[in-house]
A and B are shown apart, each in its own frame.
Chain A
Amino acid sequence: MVKTVLSTSHRGLSEWFIQRVSAIVIAVYSIGLIGYFASHSEISFAEWHGLFSNLWMKVATVLFVLSILFHAWVGMWTIITDYVKPYVISLILNVLIFFALLSCFFWVFFILWSV
């Protein structure tokens, strides 16, 4: 992942594609969740907990989080490429962001696992 994004030999088509697909997943999931909040004015712990114990909700949430991480990765890479010119610093920032996003994924994954 780090290698493909940071190499200059390819044309960024896969990043462009990842950005669009992940954007659609994020939009669908968040609009769905907003709809859930809008239709349930008072949510109890049992309901909220029960929602995330459904297998389909776990799968959807993992897909959602993965999409966010890929989306954020491409987005942050774009920002860093535009504003951070020294190669070494941008490389370090990219790697740090990659590991921060990766740990966010495992964080969510283990919480979901325990629900």
Chain B
Amino acid sequence: MIIHRPKNLNLFTIHFPLPAIVSILHRVSGFALFILIPVVIWIWSLSIGSPDTFDIVQQWLSSPWFKFILWLFLIPFCYHLVAGIRHLLMDVHVGEELKSGRLAAWITMAVAAALVILVGVWLW
């Protein structure tokens, strides 16, 4: 017996609930952080290598363009940290129900956004 159930796998017409968006962004930000690993190691190696290269990094840090790029890089970091804490809380069964899960997703978004703004203010 073949049951034909309605099926919709078109990503452009599916309505994504907020927890789904929070989840996929966690993956996207994690991938971005993976790509950034060598960049961070490289800058860190310059900052620790010698007083001259340390000065170069400090000069970079004082330029507005570099600050902006650094801020862009810190967005996936902030988000991944907050969403990761949500995952750890879910492991101990906090925010697993439909209602609390939606609330947790909202809180994740709000806290991550607040952190990103705070980091921006602090950089400037």
Interface residues of A (CB under 8 A from B): 20, 23-24, 27, 30, 38, 45, 48-49, 52, 68, 72, 75-76, 79, 101, 104, 107-108, 111, 115
23 A-B interface contacts by CB (under 8 A): A20-B91, A23-B84, A27-B85, A30-B77, A30-B81, A45-B51, A45-B54, A45-B55, A48-B47, A48-B48, A52-B48, A72-B30, A72-B34, A72-B37, A75-B27, A75-B30, A76-B31, A79-B30, A101-B37, A104-B37, A108-B44, A111-B41, A111-B44
Interface residues on B, range: 20 to 34
Chain A residues near B17 (CB-CB < 8 A): none
Given known contacts A108-B41, A111-B48, A20 and B88 CB-to-CB distance under 8 angstroms? yes
Given known contacts A48-B54, A111-B48, A76 and B88 CB-to-CB distance under 8 angstroms? no
Is the CB of B122 closer than 8 A to any CB of chain A? yes
Q: Is chain A's interface secondary structure helix, strand, loop, or mixed overall?
A: helix
Q: Which of B30, B34, B47, B88 has the most CB of A within 10 A?
A: B34
Chain B residues near A27 (CB-CB < 8 A): 81, 84-85
Chain B residues near A115 (CB-CB < 8 A): 48
